[in-house]
Structure 1
């Protein structure tokens, strides 16, 4: 990661007061870089032109927008998938407008994302949720292009994932994997995990999924003195919820 104001501050400080000035300039520059979330010269140039920084809540849809545009043209299937992600998150109208703007920003492909993703290495469930949403977008048109695949490998690496693990997650969303279960065991178990029934409406299923994710999210345990076993249990529970929702989504076709 390159902190542009830190580089400028270090150089200017050293020119004025040698090593002590360089150290002071670096410290002040780093404060500015962190405050403005500047991670590259492109970020600095964007701020100088009055362009807003990337808000934390916009990251997911910036990623999705970049994936949708990665192989040249955004298709209707990509737009529909973005809408599905908004619905899954239960976004209201103001948040939907913000997500749409972030999706468009992602299509432009001008944001530096490495620093944003690296900061999520200590939040494994959030990182996994991002990658799952990205793979859903990548597979939205039925195939994953070379550019999409490389983006996902890069992003996953910045999130702290190994390449085999990233590919294995993507395989879960491949069309060949979207086969309805021959037996009802997996489907019935998934319904029990989310506390819904086969007669539940799609929106009820989504609401149950979001409610349970919010309740069991391991990131909420950070800073609360939770033991390693508690965090591990919460992580496993969240993965179980992800898997159950995916089984139901495939069976019900939404």
Structure 2
């Protein structure tokens, strides 16, 4: 706690202005201490010690993300080549190379250990992300993506995801909603919309009913949603996943590519639905 500004302000204020000067000096000293704390010892985005703190938190977030991913992969009983392939695919999507890739691989292997401290790891993630719900959501969605990357979810994986969500502060309903949206995202990706997009958001072929339904689920809205409801849901999802906002809140730079891909997916789903409604 920084109090020297208050002490000095009160002292000199009293000498120069008596009781009134004491209170004025105390007030100005408090303002000085607050400004000094923001510059030298504040949270993310400050200077000096705060920059080191941000780098440490980002490194811890990155390490925990892959370590917990390895623990989820172990939930089926043993880590198979399929789980390793999934983790490798996520590293590829992030564009990890060199030291960053080695760190991710080491963290993944660490998470496979029987004595991996899951509870302690998740508590540390939640503490480091206090007041940054979007970052916690990104962490949870990362685990869901990894668990669902093969197109199915093992009962043990689902059970463990509930444990992870609870420690991160999410309810069972919130987790099930995210699981449903991730399943829809998988079906939407299978439709190949990222490859089909051309020009100003057009599509080479009309989507099937299943693909269109998946697009609605990706945005978390009903097919009967009005244009206003659709736009509101789209903006909400984009606001939660926007790379710049996540970066400002402390998302590790190695994970930015995943956030970008998510916003591209949301944009593709929104464009598809709007085009389909316009053509009717």
**TM-score normalized by the length of structure 2:** 0.47
Cα distance, 1:66–1:180 mapped onto 2, change above 3 Å: closer
Q: Is the 8 A contact 2:69 2:143 kept in 1?
A: yes
Segments of 5+ residues of structure 2 without an aligned counterpart are 1-58, 205-240, 251-257, 270-280
* 1:244 paired residue number: 264
- SS class of match (2:73): helix
Tell me the CA shift for residue 103 of structure 1: 0.3
Q: Does 1:83 align with 2:88?
A: yes
Structure-2 residue corresponding to 1:107: 112
Q: What residue is the counterpart of 2:156 in the other structure?
A: 147
| 2:79 is aligned with 1:74 | yes
- Supply the distance in 2 between the matched residues of 1:175 and 1:113 (Cα, whole angstroms): 29
Q: Is residue 2:134 matched to residue 1:125? A: yes
More displaced 10-residue stretch of structure 1: 90-99 or 137-146: 137-146
Which residue number in structure 2 is paired with residue 220 of structure 1? Answer: 248
Deviations 1:191-217 (A, max 9, x none): 879xxx99xxxxxxxxxxxxx954x22
RMSD, matched Cα: 4.0
Query: Is the 1:117–1:158 contact (alpha carbons within 8 Å) kept by the matching residues of 2?
Result: no
In 2: Cα distance, 1:106 partner to 1:247 partner:
34
Q: Residue 67 of structure 1 contacts residue 148 of structure 1 at CA under 8 Å; is this kept in 2?
A: yes
Unpaired runs of 5+ residues, structure 1, are 1-53, 199-211, 223-237, 250-254
1:169 aligned onto 2:170: no
Question: Deviation above 4 Å: which 4+ runs of structure 1?
Answer: 179-182, 238-241, 246-249
User: Which of these two proteins has the greater Rg computed from alpha carbons?
Assistant: 2
CA distance in 1, matches of 2:167, 2:90: 22
Distance in 2, matches of 1:220 and 1:80, equals: 31
In the TM superposition, what is the alpha-carbon distance from 1:113 to its structure 2 partner? 2.2
Q: Secondary structure at the match of 1:108?
A: coil
Structure 2: distance between partners of 1:168 and 1:143:
16
Structure with the higher helix share, 1 or 2? 2
Provide the rounded CA distance (Å) in 1 between the counterparts of 2:77 and 2:86. 17
- Count of aligned pairs between the two proteins: 162
Tell me how far apart the structure 1 counterparts of residues 260 and 91 of structure 2 sit (CA, whole Å): 22
Structure 1 residues 247 and 69, CA gap change in structure 2 (3 angstroms): farther
